[in-house]
A and B are shown apart, each in its own frame.
Chain A
Amino acid sequence: MCFDNKNSYWIDSFIKKYEESFKKVDLLDRKSEYWRFASPSIWYDNYINKKLPSEKQIENFSFNYDGMTDFFIKFKDGMLDISSLTELNKDEKNIEVSSYKDAVTNENHWSSKKFGLAQTNAEKPYKRPLALFNGLDSREGVFIKFKKGMRKKFHIIYEGNEQKKSTIRNLFDFEEDVDITIIEHFYGDSKYNIVSEFFNDKNSKIEHIKIINQDITDTFIYHLFGNCQKNSNIKAINFSFSENPVRNEVNLHLEGPECNATVASLGFGQKATSICDNTVFISHQEESSKSRQIIKNALSGGAKAIFQGKIYVSSVAQKTDGYQMSNGLILTDNCQFLVKPELEIYADDVVCSHGSISGTLNDDHLFYLQSRGIPLLEAQKQLIQAFFAEILNEINDEKVINHIQKQISIKLA
């Protein structure tokens, strides 16, 4: 690895640390529970060495951004469009925004005290090799401090061409009492490896929505590492429509008491090339926090989905309320939904549960709809939409809901 001379000491020391850790990780260790259902080569080799067969997409998957007063940040082919930060920079009272490059070349940048901490929390018991690689490879990203009490919605739009790599590192620092929604939109003929670190201060309310549109033609890897303080509230919701490998890792460290965390994912794969892998770890470190994991995948055409989810409760995290449910809707008989739910509990006064149900469409439901004149295909569509409804109910943004319903409809057409 060749370090940039302009880099600050703090980022160079992180890169060096990541490099050392990365060398120690056996990427091909298929015995590791971390890679239990999908070989690491699917992610690492695909991202580095291969171009997956790319099919030109003719549908318009674009989100309807018309009439919005939200903030927008844009990336193209892995590069931050600096001009897209202009509007954000005007709101200095509420936000402080830097590109990755500006942040890591500033020895005294505010992010130097935060960078890497959430990822470090997530590295027990498993190193996160794809995130380590991101740490070595990323040269782009956006670092934002959301100042106390700010309320705003942000869209981050990623587009790509020619299956170029987009290795991006973001850092979001949410101060007390903020109410922020971040919607990340991923489009195009591109590979993605994104790491976002979230630092959620007291009483913050964060909604993070990620939409992986179906025109993504190559490997997609995303890590969300979150540190959550007292009475903070976070929702991390993933929508995946890609027909290529997607690895979505969410690791939330509930450091303060009375946190509330929801991780939800909707995946819809229709081809044998489709892998939707959700690897989720929620760590309860203090009392009286709640967490929910809700994972739903509809699968046909040989598609595969994976859910590895853990609720960890430390010995002092009494009154923890943890819930985890994964559902697979198997629409054709050559699909797989592979699930490894886990509870690791060291406190004795907690309520934690997990469950997983997979099956086909319910014949009685289909008959009921048909008995009212709804043709079989339309009845199947309605029931697939209904299967996903629990995830859509997690969000209030009508535009997002309409976009997701449109994506599902395109898949069902």
Chain B
Amino acid sequence: MFEIQNLHVNISEVDKKIIDGINLKINPGEVHAIMGPNGSGKSTLSYTLSGKDGYQVINGDIKLDDESILELEADERAAKGIFLAFQYPIEIPGVGNLSFMRTALNSQRKYNGNSELNPAEFLKVLKEKANNLNIDMEMLKRPLNVGFSGGEKKRNEILQMALLEPRFCVLDETDSGLDVDAMKQVSNGVNSLRSDNRSFLIITHYQRLLNYIKPDFVHIMAKGKIIKTAGPELAIEVEEHGYTHLLT
């Protein structure tokens, strides 16, 4: 189970409080969506959960299976099973996509006491995952995200998710920059990874992504707090009426 307890977060660079007391429990297999207007703290929450430097937890806790992860570095959190699908996946010239994925998988395996995969074993696993997601292996021979279209970048994120098999996935505005077809492809990928022991936190502005990835719960976030929680119908309400009436 993933649990956020009374979380308060400052961004160190500007010494400004962005998250102002969030509580959230996400059970294995559940899909939660967080919606909210610009500046409500959604991306700050995703970076805080995944352990990015500069996001200072000044109060509260984040727990995975009842153990605090606050003291863990980003790579340790990833190896424990936390995965962040980026809103804007970073382009890194000179780092090969394949070599990056193999290093990532083997780093996590090593952290968890498993043997590392040799190149042949790794390729076999990767091909299987890529086939399941209809991803062309040619894309994987290029430098990490360099020259990828918006859709390719997001599909590459989903492939990494499939490869690393995390237990808790945060999707930070995965729908941004995607056309309808690309959004369907990415959503199908996410849906194929849903399972009883994997949970998701989907951050989005719009209800349309939730047409494809059906959430169990929808939370509205504003000014660093969760101000309302309900079922999927809450997303439809936001789509029809906007956020204003919820904020007043």
Contact = CB atoms under 8 A, between A and B. Distances in A.
Contacts of B83: 371
Given A372-B104, A378-B107, A367 B74 contact: yes
B79 A373 contact: yes
Contacts of B75: 370-376, 379
B103 A365 contact: no
Nearest to A392: B94
Nearest to A387: B94
B103 A378 contact: yes
Chain A interface residue count: which class?
Answer: 20 to 34
A370 B111 CA distance: 13
Nearest to B95: A386
B93 interface: yes
Interface string B34-64: 0000000000000000111100000000000
A374 B94 contact: no
B56 to A, nearest CB: 15
Interface of B: 50-53, 73-75, 78-79, 83-84, 86, 89-90, 92-95, 100-101, 103-105, 107-108, 111, 143, 160, 164
8 contacts: A370-B75, A371-B78, A371-B84, A372-B101, A372-B107, A374-B100, A386-B95, A389-B93
A383 B144 CA distance: 11
Interface string A346-387: 000000000000000001110111111111101100110111
Contacts of A368: 86, 89-90, 92
Given A363-B53, A373-B164, A382-B103, 13 more contacts: A364-B90, A365-B92, A367-B53, A367-B74, A370-B73, A372-B75, A372-B101, A372-B164, A373-B78, A373-B79, A373-B108, A373-B111, A379-B75
Contacts of A370: 51, 73-75, 78
Contact of A375 (B51, B93, B107): B107
Contacts of B105: 373
Contacts of B164: 372-373
Interface of A: 363-365, 367-376, 378-379, 382-383, 385-390
B75 to A, nearest CB: 4
A369 B53 contact: no
B170 to A, nearest CB: 10
Contact of B93 (A369, A371, A376, A386): A386
Nearest to A368: B90
Most buried by B among A374, A385, A386, A387: A374
Contacts of B78: 370-373
B74 A371 contact: yes
Contacts of A365: 90, 92
Given A368-B86, A382-B100, A373 B107 contact: yes
Contacts of B50: 371
From A367, A368, A373, A383, name the one whose CB has the most chain B CB atoms within 10 angstroms.
A373
A372 B86 CA distance: 11
A385 B53 CA distance: 23
B95 A383 contact: yes
Contacts of B94: 383, 385-390
Contacts of A369: 92, 95, 100, 104
B149 to A, nearest CB: 18
A81 to B, nearest CB: 38
Given A364-B90, A367-B74, A374 B95 contact: no
Nearest to B99: A382
Contacts of B103: 374, 378, 382
